[in-house]
Amino acid sequence: MSVVKNYLSLVKFSHTIFALPFALIGFVLGVRAQWMAQMPVEHFFLKLFLVLICMVSARSTAMAFNRYLDRHFDQLNPRTAIREIPAGIIKAEKALLFVFINMGVFILASFFINNICFYLSPVALFVILFYSYTKRFTYLCHLVLGIGLSLAPIGAYLAVTGSFAVLPLLFSFAVIFWVSGFDIIYALQDIDFDQSQSLYSIPSYWGLNKALTIARLLHVLSAGFVIAAYFVGGFHFMYLIGLLVFVGMLIYQNSIVKPNDLSKVNIAFMTANGIASIVFSVFVITALVLEMMNNSNNNFIHFN
């Protein structure tokens, strides 16, 4: 069990709460699209299971590869020196093997979902692996991370429908700017270390004040896409409750982190964003389910 615990810690499994709720939103959006088109949702539970496998394996691939690639930097940084690879808890070559295993699981699961997911699986892997290199040459690395996590809602939607649509893309754009913003806030902790090692990030390039301003602007964009999704999707009013919580958590995390006080970065990063994603997804999915139930009742009454 200790080995499993070590690998779960390596990939920060608890951070799955950031992208997984949006994947579930994308999945239920796909179910609604099939429902409204009166098309059968074939193998619903099997597809849900495969989507979850894809989510976990893709994220484990990305995180383990990032830890493997950054192991020498992590060893030099007092904040990250306790991580599994620099601390000697997991050997580097075993971490890399773990990456390849998860890549294989991801591709295999996408194969059993549908053709388009299978064909796009190498593209998804390229994006999430490419992120680990970006701090070496561009301060836009935060946006690349956001793009990687934004694949969750549109990927889950594709799993159900096999086609693209505007609505899940709006959620994907919301994820891009949400994740980019909170990753900038998180990177404030390493501003001095990144500058000393010539690593790129928005805080190390622009400084504390400008970095926080950029994070806030990105979160405004994220909120804008979530609001746009409400009008495009024609959601049940329950969506608005989730929307208020999501925007509220964005405002909260940006208000507690200040240039002269970074003591609450972890609260902003983990607590606020965890609440934002989970609560928002619960209300969005509830809104979608209520809508589908209402449509079913109307169809039944019409039929009778």
CATH fold, domain 2-290, is Tetracycline Repressor; domain 2 (1.10.357)
- Looking at the DSSP bridge assignments, the partners of residue 258 are 261
Cβ atoms 167, 235 nearer than 8 A: no
Instruction: Tell me which DSSP letter residue 164 carries.
Output: -
pLDDT of residue 25: 97
d(CA 291, CA 52): 24
304 pLDDT band, cuts 50/70/90, is very low
The predicted-structure confidence for 241-254, as pLDDT tens digits, reads as follows 999 999 999 999 99
* Distant-in-sequence, close-in-space partners of 281: CB < 8 Å, separation ≥ 6: 21, 22, 24, 25, 242
Residue 161, C-beta contacts closer than 8 angstroms, at least 6 positions apart:
30, 33, 34
Over range 52-67, report the average pLDDT.
96
Contact 176, 147 (CB under 8 A): yes
SS3 label, residue 168: helix
Residue-range domain boundaries for the chain: 2-290
Q: Quick one: pLDDT at residue 60?
A: 95
The structure tokens listed for 217 are: 């602007």
Q: In the predicted model, is pLDDT for residue 301 greater than 70?
A: no
Percent of the chain predicted with pLDDT > 70: 94
Among 38-52, 184-198, 224-238, 263-277, whose mean pLDDT is lowest?
38-52
Instruction: Round to whole Å and give the CA distance between 52 and 23.
Output: 8
Amino acid code (one letter) for 175: V
Higher-confidence position of 271 and 71: 71
Record the pTM.
0.93
Interior angle at CA 54, CA 94 and CA 42, nearest 5: 150
Please report the pLDDT score of residue 229 as a whole number. 97
- Judge whether 229 and 170 are in contact, CB under 8 Å: yes
pLDDT at site 41: 59
Q: Two tokens at 145? A: 């991370």
Distance (Å, rounded) from C-alpha 251 to C-alpha 231?
22
pLDDT bracket for residue 302 (50, 70, 90): very low
Q: Is the pLDDT of residue 203 over 90?
A: yes
Q: Which helix (H) or strand (E) holds 93?
A: helix 92-113
Query: Which of 186, 158, 175 lies closest to 254 in space, CA to CA?
Result: 186
Whats the size of the chain, residue-wise? Answer: 304
